[in-house]
Amino acid sequence: MKKILIGIAVVFFFGFGFFLFQIMGGFNDIKVELVDLGTLELSGIRFRGKPQDEALRDAFVRIEAIQKENQESQIHTIYYIEPAGRMDTMEVFVGLEKKWVSKEEALEELTFAAEQSIVARIKAHRFVMPGPVKVKSKILDFARENNLPEPRIFIDRILGPDEVMVIAVKE
């Protein structure tokens, strides 16, 4: 009798986990397409250090404050070096499109030719969202299949709490 109850409980929890994963968007496809975004001009802050450094938090807080003043704007991040753990060094740029930032902010500016950008859209809860390696792999496969130059820079545009657009450009 105990074995049957344990079996039913295991099947129930497995089924509930599967259902929860589905509801959160865990099975959603990564949609990849070729898009002409023209020139992408960003203004922001570059951080290099450990993930728990206060300067990283401060950079995000500063950019989010500017973003809240311009509701149509979206935060962009570029991870040049992604940390493998909490004590690893990382390098990230966090910013907004230049048109949303006043010149008085004195932020670093980056410009990318994005006429032939490969764009991946991911819509899922952050707990079940695919990792950067899977997304980059999907983008690189798309580039090879369509005889496009291999992108070198991957820009994450945060569209919402459960939606990200990854813009891949040559450089």
pLDDT of residue 34: 93
Does 74 reside within a domain?
Answer: yes
pLDDT of residue 5: 81
* pLDDT of 144 strictly over 90: yes
Helix-strand-coil percent breakdown of the chain, rounded to 5? 35, 35, 30
For the chain, the distance separating the N- and C-terminal CA atoms, rounded to the nearest angstrom, is: 64
Average pLDDT over residues 70-86: 86
Radius of gyration over every alpha carbon of the chain, rounded to an integer in angstroms: 20
Residue 106 Ramachandran class (φ > 0 left, ψ -120 to 50 alpha, else beta): left
* pLDDT of 112 strictly over 80: yes
Burial of 73-90, coded b for 16+ CB within 10 Å and e otherwise, reads: bbbbbbeeeebeeeeeeb
Does 94 reside within a domain?
Answer: yes
Q: Which residue has the higher pLDDT, 47 or 22?
A: 47
The pLDDT-based confidence of 154 (bands split at 50, 70, 90) is very high
Average pLDDT over residues 84-107: 85
Does 42 reside within a domain?
Answer: yes
Answer yes or no: are the C-beta atoms of 41 and 99 closer than 8 Å. yes
Q: Is 76 helix (H, G, I), strand (E, B) or coil?
A: strand
How far is residue 171's CA from residue 163's CA, in Å, rounded to a whole number?
24
Q: Which helix (H) or strand (E) holds 156?
A: strand 153-160
CATH number for the domain that contains residue 155: 3.20.80.10
- Picking from 130, 146, 142, 129, the residue whose alpha carbon sits closest to that of residue 168 is 142
Does 8 reside within a domain?
Answer: no
Q: What is the domain range of residue 59?
A: 31-169
- Picking from 74, 49, 72, the residue whose alpha carbon sits closest to that of residue 64 is 74
Does 4 reside within a domain?
Answer: no
Does 49 reside within a domain?
Answer: yes
The pLDDT-based confidence of 13 (bands split at 50, 70, 90) is confident
Predicted structure pTM score? 0.84
Give the total residue count for the chain.
171
How many structural domains compose the chain? 1
pLDDT of residue 6: 83
Q: Which helix (H) or strand (E) holds 14?
A: helix 2-23
Q: To the nearest 10°, the Cα dihedral for 111, 117, 123, 127?
A: -60
Does 3 reside within a domain?
Answer: no
Answer yes or no: are the C-beta atoms of 143 and 129 closer than 8 Å. no
